[in-house]
Amino acid sequence: MGRVPARAEAFEDLVREAYVPLLRYLVRRTDPATADDVLGDVLLVLWRRFDAVPGDARVPWCLGVARGCLANRRRSDERQRRLVERLAAVPAVAPPDGDPDLDEALATLGDRDREVLHLWAWESLAPREIGVVLGISANAASIRLHRATRRLAKALGKTPVGAGHLPDRQGTEAIGD
């Protein structure tokens, strides 16, 4: 086996010296799961900034890094908490109140058909935009949408709209008449 490069070996020495003090520092200031996560962040910073570690105050310097990583984690958690509160305050947008026959017909379709129809009808996306959402070409999205509307019309017992292209959004009444 090859020899471990000098930098990696020196880093391992630093970790052996600082690991327990770092873990104690973090566990005293946060819960154990967060302490483990932040310790991983600390070790990453120590590896990246290994050349900046002072030779005469290695462990205190590592504790300073841990302090900064823990502060970053707390700020991140606070931002996330505020975002969740803001999102919780926004009223949920439910799908439009549907026609029970339409809901039943949609339930008979596959997930891919329902998704493309929902993107078209609920989100008012054009086939080009549906393609972006689904990660497919605009042509493939148009074909999927065409096939899905034909299957939906058949499930509803209706005559499918047109033989080729789909009508614009205003022409959707033909499906659910």
pLDDT value for 132: 92
Q: How far apart are the first and last CA of the chain?
A: 75
Q: Hey, what domains does the chain have and what are their CATH numbers?
A: 6-89 (1.10.1740.10), 100-176 (1.10.10.10)
pLDDT below 50 — which residues of the chain?
163-164, 169-174, 176-177
pLDDT value for 17: 96
| C-alpha neighbours within 13 Å on the C-beta side of residue 169 | 10
The Cα–Cα gap between 121 and 99 comes to: 14
pLDDT value for 173: 47
Q: What is the pLDDT of residues 1-40, one digit of tens each?
A: 556 689 999 999 999 999 999 999 999 999 999 999 999 9
CB atoms within 10 A of CB 43: 20
Q: Which string of b and e fits 141-159 if b means at least 16 CB within 10 Å? A: bbebbbebbbbbbebbeee
